[in-house]
Amino acid sequence: MSEATTPPEPVTGLSRGARYLSVGSIWLLALVFAVLIGTVSPSDQYASWISLGLAASVVASMCAQLGTQQKEGFVNRLAASVSGAFVILGVAGAVLAIVAAAR
């Protein structure tokens, strides 16, 4: 008596476009934070707001990657999201530091 078993369904990951969208949206959010910090924040508080923007980007990255509901590549997507946000806000922080020093 052999029971017929069905083969497991193949694991399908995110499409390339969905991966880029989940990472790129966080980079865009970090860029928006950088622009807002540069235009709205007082120059003596740039560093505080940049660090707050990075924290918000990390939380948004976690939400975006958990929202995909795909465990395959989760760590790589999260690392790409956070690293990109870190670079964007780091460059913005350096530019804002130069601007603040010039004032």
pLDDT 10s digits, 56-92: 999 999 999 999 999 899 999 999 999 999 999 999 9
Give the total number of structural domains in the chain.
1
How far is C-alpha 70 from the chain's CA centre? 16
Q: Which tens digits make up the pLDDT trace of 11-67? A: 567 888 889 999 999 999 999 999 999 999 999 999 999 999 999 999 999 999 999
Give the residue among 95, 90, 84 at the shortest CA–CA distance from 20: 84
Does the residue 77 lie in any domain? yes
Residue 56 within a domain: yes
Does residue 19 sit within a domain? no
Per the domain annotation, does 78 fall within a domain?
yes
What does the pLDDT read at residue 92? 97
* Domain that includes residue 89, residue range: 30-102
Distance CA 90, CA 103 (A): 20
Is residue 10 domain-resident? Answer: no
Q: Is the pLDDT of residue 1 over 60?
A: no
Supply the pTM of this predicted model: 0.84
Nearest to 30 by CA among 100, 98, 80, 99: 80
Any domain includes 6: no
**17-37 per-residue burial string, b: 16 or more CB within 10 A, e: under 16:** eebeebbeebbebbbebbeeb
Q: How far is CA 56 from CA 32, 63, 82, in A?
A: 12, 11, 10
Is 20 contained in some domain?
Answer: no
